[in-house]
Structures are given as structure tokens and as C-alpha cells.
Amino acid sequence: MAEEPIISLRGIRNQFGPHIVHDDLDLDVWRGEVLGVVGGSGTGKSVLLRTIVGLRQPQAGSIRLFGIDALGADEETRSGLDRRTGVMFQDGALFSSLTVRENVEVPLRAVPDLPARLRRALADLKISMAGLPWKAGDNYPSELSGGMRKRAGLARALALDPEIVFLDEPTAGLDPIGASEFDTLIRGLSRQLGLTVFLVTHDLDTLHATCDRIAVLAERRVLVTGTMAGMLEVDHPWVHEYFHGPRARAATETRDRTG
């Protein structure tokens, strides 16, 4: 029997008033892969992510997570799905009035009968897994650099040991060294924990460094999916420019130099 995708979208339609963002969009994501989602401005990359995680209701279509109908799920089933996923939004989307540790504890507070001492210990573990120094748990978001806020957001996304992690532009705004370190972190966590990663990005270096497969949003749908090598063979104006342009060549040269 063929493996069932861990995420399956069929016929998704997202619309804001008269403006149609997605129309009849299909996509499958397979367990354990890192999928990079790219597309031009206005193609709805973040909208698609928010739709999958249940933050917006599509006008049409179906979403299955772990083989379960996510759109038709009752509240208890939806809560169970949410506990199996983690989301890192742009810039971390942390609560400014809470410390990093308290931010990471927020999802853990939903776990019944979890003692405060264990909750704190688990939060510190996730902070460490995200590559932050142990002292960072006592800091407030305003006291952190942009890169550290992103890592704190990742720690919170990992709080409940999710099977799927959704990352929205995780390296946006980072300097090249910080972005490279974050790419390495994501790739390592994916392999070590068996995570499935749905990664919205515009960063070609991130695609090269982390992604097993790429999905291109264009013309209101997923135009094509495939490996980086496969993208080079796609005969579509935007895809060709994106994967053959100067930035693409620079990313390829960097990858070749670093092995």
C-alpha cells in the first residue's frame, strides 16, 4: 500500500473579496521531508501556511493532516491535530510581556497535570535545542537580536514535540552567517527528530541547504513540485528566472564551495 501523505490539500480556494489568491490548489507533503514553498509576491505563500494550520478557512477544498479531515474535524479532534504541529511565524511572533522561557511554556500549559517544574525544564530543553544559550530563557523578546527571536520562536514551535513544523520565512532579515546557521539547525532537527518541515521562503540558499523538495506557487496554484535539480528543467518564465537568475547562480556557487 502506498504511503499516505502527512499533509494533503485538494481543490483549495482562498479568496479575499473579489481577489482570488488560490484556486483549485493541490499539494501533498510526505512524512519526514523538508518542503520549501516559493513563489512571487502576492502568490499567497503565508496565506497557504495559515490555511493549513487552521488560522483561516478556505472558500473551497479539503485539507487532510495525518489522514484526518482537518476542515471537518470537531473541536477535540482539531485540538489534537494542533498538538501534533508547531508553527514559527516571521520574527518569532513572541509575546512581548513574557520571557523567552514563559513564551515556550505557553503551549505546555495546555498539557493536563504537567507540574510547573517539569514545564520549566521542558521549556529550557527546547530553548537549548533551538541553539539559544541557557541564559536566554530569562530575557524578554525586546532584549534579543532578530536571529535570537527567531530561535525563540522555533523553541516555542517545538514545545509539544510536534511531528510537523511550519516555518514562515525563517531566515528573512538575517545576515548571511546567521541565515546559514539557522539553515543548518533546521536541517539537523529535521533529521534528528524525524520532523516534517513545511518551509515558506524566498531564500535560495535556504532551498539549497535544507529542502528535499520544492513547491512553486504561481497562477493561483501549485505550479510544480520537485527537487532543486528538477526546478532547473521547468519551462515557465518565473520559475526559469528564479532558479537561473544571478542570485540562483550565486547560491549554487556557494553550495558547491561548501560541499
Beta bridge partners of 27: 9
pLDDT at 247 over 50: yes
Q: pLDDT per residue over 113-136, tens digit each?
A: 899 999 999 999 999 999 999 889
The answer to whether 165 touches 129, Cβ cutoff 8 Å, is no
Give the mean model confidence (pLDDT) for residues 85-111.
Answer: 91
Contact 159, 107 (CB under 8 A): yes
What would the pLDDT profile of 54-92 be if each residue is shown by its tens digit? 999 999 999 999 999 999 999 999 999 999 999 998 766
Which pLDDT band holds residue 252 (cuts at 50, 70, 90)?
Answer: low
Mean pLDDT calculated for residue range 37-59: 95
First to last CA, the chain: 37
pLDDT at 131: 94
Among the residue ranges 86-95, 145-154, 170-179, the one predicted with the least confidence is 86-95
Q: How many CA atoms lie within 13 A of 171 on its CB side?
A: 23
Q: Name the residue with higher pLDDT: 38 or 248.
A: 38
Query: Taking the model in full, what pTM does it have?
Result: 0.92
Say what the pLDDT of residue 1 is: 42
Q: How far apart are CA 150 and CA 169, in angstroms?
A: 10
